């Protein structure tokens, strides 16, 4: 029987950047505790772009019952609802955020399920143009 070998099986590793390093560096924001509360079983992280752009409310929005915890909960809950019955690795879903005062902006987000640092399934939620 022929053995198949990976092209990179014996290659020297030049550089790796782990999920744990990305979280420590602030490139990803770990939100797994709240994700578990929302019924999501895998570890979840958000990109800094999503976190700083939409989860952390602008000062004007904070006057209208907006807070980090509430915006994060909404994001995770809407992901969970969209993911129910989905069977792929990349899911697009919409979330409405108050952006200025009472004005609402609907934002398309992307969630990717892939291998974590030890090949366990992990979810990363991001803006659609992020990887």
CB under 8 Å, gap of 24 or more: what pairs does 81-85 form?
Answer: 82/111, 83/40, 83/111
Alpha carbon distance 44, 28 (integer Å): 10
pLDDT, tens only, 36-75: 999 999 999 999 999 999 999 777 556 567 789 999 999 9
85: left (phi over 0), alpha (psi -120 to 50) or beta: left
pLDDT, tens only, 96-127: 988 876 788 899 999 999 999 999 999 999 99
């Amino acid at each position: 029987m022929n053995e198949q070998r990976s092209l990179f099986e014996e290659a020297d590793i030049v550089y790796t950047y782990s999920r744990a390093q990305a979280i420590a560096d602030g490139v990803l924001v770990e939100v797994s505790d709240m994700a578990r509360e929302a019924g999501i079983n895998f570890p979840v992280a958000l990109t800094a772009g999503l976190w700083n752009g939409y989860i952390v409310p602008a000062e004007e929005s904070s006057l209208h019952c907006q807070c980090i915890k509430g915006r994060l909960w909404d994001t995770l809950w809407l992901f969970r609802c969209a993911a129910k019955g989905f069977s792929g690795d990349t899911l697009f879903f919409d979330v409405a955020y108050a952006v200025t005062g009472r004005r609402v902006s609907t934002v398309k987000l992307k969630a990717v399920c892939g291998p974590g640092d030890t090949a366990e399934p992990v979810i990363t939620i991001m803006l659609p143009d992020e990887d």
